[in-house]
Amino acid sequence: MTQSDPAAGKTEVAPSPRRVVPVLGVTQILAWGSSYYLPAVLAKPVALETGWSLTWIVGGLSLGLLTAGLAAPAVGRCIHRKGGRPVLAASALLLAAGQIGLAIAPSLPVFVLAWIVIGFGMSAGLYDAAFSTLGQLYRLGARHHIGTLTLFGGFASTVCWPLSAFLVDTIGWRGACLAYAAIHLGFCLPLYLWGLPKHRQEDAPAAPGAATAPVAIRRPAIFMLLALAITLAAFISTVVSVHLLTILSARNLALAAAVALGAMVGPSQVGARFIEMLVARYHHPIWTKLASAALVAIGLTLLALGVPVIWLALICYGAGIGLDSIARATLPLALFGAHDYAPIMGKLARPALIVQAAAPSIGALLIAHVGSGSTVAVIAAGAILNVGIVLGLVMLTRQARLAPA
């Protein structure tokens, strides 16, 4: 892809995705593993050593997600103006600073403050920033690369949970945090600086008479429905991911059996993303979003009904949330175009991240007051509602001639 550079009077060539996508893929694994997936391994060792409240230790992640959500629109605007390289490089510095803060925290308030710093790093360095960078670099052609990136991201817990456990066992939880800080400074930061272009890709001039995809931005109802669908999906997936073992254990399953069944979600995500990557060229991303919502609703409904084939319910659910990661990135690109893609992604990310911050606590309250079974029923009802929201989005986009019949 070539872009005109009016300032230099030269033709600007987008960097090869064969370099950019693996760089983003590897760093996504490490960014997710050292932030979002970190408390699953570190929470109990931290509590045992310090005596701090486990609720507050785990709540640090919620505070980080809240911070990430509040910062997301500004991050999107920055990527739009300056490109992804400086933002993602800053994320490595912020995540490293936050990890150092965790490692040296002498008290719980300092520990929680470090999670705020990590929250800013998450906003600048997780999926939304990486997707925005790909959209800014490759425009409407970014869809395939986004799918490939989510395949990398699907292995974050697979790689980093064992790594975190090994580090905790060998050098303690504080040493593990310092090790992650060193990884961000010594590996991720140089990788971003080497693999991503120094300059923002300028917008290519539109061909004479070409249709403009961003017509959807003039339809606020489309944006609002898309934001609602993304936010509700984020809430559902966060509640289920945090409380899945509790929900399965309530079905009179032994812990080992619950863990084995829960482990099916990860491969289902990756498998669905791989299939989507193979067939993406044949359909509009809105059908990916609809398939995602439907699969999540089917899986959770089967789980709520207490059917004996729990494995089938979890495969459907896992495939649905796997597709959702792709749809939340590719559908805005298809509906609103590439020019304002990064700022739009930032606006869409804010409510989703904020509800993700609150979702674990809401799920815990539901389980405590109405039980696991009723909680699954409530979440399944939300998933069915989301199918209706996406169907409404399909109708609106067809009216706007932004999606095929």
Using CA atoms, how far apart are residues 393 and 348, in angstroms rounded to an integer?
15
pLDDT-based confidence at residue 405 (cuts at 50, 70, 90) = low
Together in a domain, 234 and 172: no
Together in a domain, 177 and 223: no
pLDDT score of 200: 65
- 6 has pLDDT over 80: no
pLDDT score of 303: 93
- 95 has pLDDT over 50: yes
Together in a domain, 170 and 47: yes
Using CA atoms, how far apart are residues 136 and 148, in angstroms rounded to an integer?
16
Digit-coded pLDDT (tens) for 12-63: 567 888 899 999 999 999 999 999 989 888 888 999 999 998 888 888 999 9
Give the residue from 195, 230, 260 where a domain finishes: 195
pLDDT score of 4: 44
- 263 has pLDDT over 80: no
- 184 has pLDDT over 80: yes
Domain limits at 15?
2-195
Give the residue from 195, 230, 265 where a domain finishes: 195
Together in a domain, 177 and 250: no
- Asked whether residue 206 is assigned to any structural domain, the reply reads no
Using CA atoms, how far apart are residues 195 and 203, in angstroms rounded to an integer?
21
- 99 has pLDDT over 80: yes
pLDDT score of 17: 84
pTM for this model (two decimals):
0.85
pLDDT score of 26: 95
Tell me the CB-side half-sphere exposure of residue 340, using CA atoms within 13 A.
Answer: 14
Digit-coded pLDDT (tens) for 129-163: 999 999 989 988 888 899 899 888 888 878 888 89
- The neighbour count for residue 161, using CB atoms within 10 Å, is 15
Domain count across the chain: 2
Together in a domain, 162 and 220: no
- Asked whether residue 9 is assigned to any structural domain, the reply reads yes
